[in-house]
Amino acid sequence: MSAVSVATLNQRVDAANAEVFDRIVAADPVLVDIAPAGDVIPGMQDKMILHAGPPVDWEHMSGAQKGSCIALALFEGWAASADEAIELLSSGRISFEPNHHHDAVGPMAGTTSRSLPVYVVENATYGNRAYCRPAEWLQQFGAYSEASVAILRNWRDLQAPPLARGIRQAGGIKLKPLIAKALQMGDEIHNRPLAGSSLLAKALPPAMLQAGLSTEELKEGFTYLALNDFLFLPVSMASAKSAADPARNVDYSTVVTAMCRNGTEFGIRVSGLGDEWFTAPAGRPKGRLMPGFSEADIGGDMGDSTITETVGWGAFCLAGAPGILGQTGGTFEEALAYSRQMYEITVGVSPDYQIPALDFKGAPVGIDIRKVVETGIVPVLDSAMAHREPGYGNLGTGLVRPSIECFKAALAAFTKRYGTA
């Protein structure tokens, strides 16, 4: 396929990358619903668990992701005890598939099963939809205690329904202005979605009231909105996924369309390389640990939440979210430096999402694997820390840099397919 000259090929790549950039920034995400995964996620089946990261089987799954699956088996009633759950999960009777194979994403372990309600975001520009389960501090980190399962049950039975009614009553919530505003309010809408959560939380009550919910339903809904600082993370993730998906499968493009981790491996997809995953061993996030834990306890980096960095948010906007340094450590100068570095490996600058501390420069959008390999600069990623063993909750918040090896492997595959770019 590659009898063209290097100059011609590079022109084709640049044009393809410009097209991918245009598609990403043209996204117009709208929160349209919250609904059980089995009702809305394409291909979702019973006895299926979708998980964060590239494909992985039970045997190779990280401890935290295994714990999270145990909790889901209890939540779905597939098992009555953790032992029963482990037996089932290791029996081959549960299918494990990446969220990314189903237009979905999930924070941390990212595990999703059919009765778990997920946020539904539609990209109004292209009509595609993306899905994300809620964020919380126990089950998605690998805890499978009764308290952990109860969080999912409350979400399914008490909290998701009134929120969903409000969202539908409002005819959907346009997210582009909300995200643009949150990014000027100290959020990077990944590890720090406080402003996004607050803006969404204050937008919903009028519509929830209008939807004719009972006082008890309103109480559950309002209380969830009032107390949930991470309300917006799954909405942000589904927005990012809805923006990234139309940018997939553009021939000749060297732009990354997904980055994710399952606790064992970090993986990327590249637009010109279809659905192939390029993987490397998962890194270890660095940050401030909860008291009582040590570095040796930290499991491999985990989660689909790096879909936010994939479209230019998250740690790419760290310069605009210095409040996060209270959790991760580090200085404001370092945060500025991280953001500035990301312009060196990206295709363009967002016309909508601006960073005030960089004098309103747009966020860096579209990671070009050529630039990553050339410069040796890998993306900086927000992350949270989970234990290496099942059964624990959140251990803290941090940053991580992935291995450059998967970018190199992707570029090698690109060269094999298209020639030397």
Q: Which two tokens stand for residue 151?
A: 């969080």
CA distance 34 to 166: 10
The CB-of-231 to its own copies minimum distance in angstroms stands at 9
The CB-of-388 to its own copies minimum distance in angstroms stands at 31
Report the candidate in 231, 60, 58 with the shortest Cα–Cα distance to residue 132. 231
Total number of residues shown for the chain: 421
Residue with smaller CB distance to its own copies, 341 or 403: 341
Residue with smaller CB distance to its own copies, 71 or 325: 325
The CB-of-223 to its own copies minimum distance in angstroms stands at 5
Report the candidate in 421, 414, 390, 404 with the shortest Cα–Cα distance to residue 148. 390
Q: Return residues touching its own copies (CB under 8 A).
A: 181, 184-187, 194-195, 198-199, 201-203, 205-206, 209-210, 215, 218-219, 222-223, 225-226, 322-323, 325-326, 331-332, 356-360
Q: Which two tokens stand for residue 242?
A: 């809805």
Residue with smaller CB distance to its own copies, 153 or 202: 202
The CB-of-156 to its own copies minimum distance in angstroms stands at 21
In sequence order, what E strands does 187-311 have?
256-262, 265-270, 278-281, 286-289, 302-303
Residue with smaller CB distance to its own copies, 225 or 311: 225
Residue with smaller CB distance to its own copies, 125 or 327: 327
The CB-of-362 to its own copies minimum distance in angstroms stands at 13
Q: Which two tokens stand for residue 17?
A: 């990358």
Greatest pairwise CA separation for the chain in angstroms? 69
Residue with smaller CB distance to its own copies, 91 or 215: 215
CA distance 272 to 280: 19
What ranges in 157-193 are assigned the alpha helix state H? 160-169, 176-182
The CB-of-101 to its own copies minimum distance in angstroms stands at 35
CA distance 229 to 219: 17
Residue with smaller CB distance to its own copies, 104 or 321: 321
**At CA 104, angle to CA 65 and CA 416, rounded to 5?**
90
The CB-of-359 to its own copies minimum distance in angstroms stands at 5
First-to-last C-alpha distance (Å) of the chain: 13
Q: DSSP 3-state helix, strand, coil percentages of the chain (rounded to 5)? A: 45, 20, 35
Residue with smaller CB distance to its own copies, 303 or 364: 364
The CB-of-353 to its own copies minimum distance in angstroms stands at 13
Helix (H, G, I), strand (E, B) or coil at 266: strand
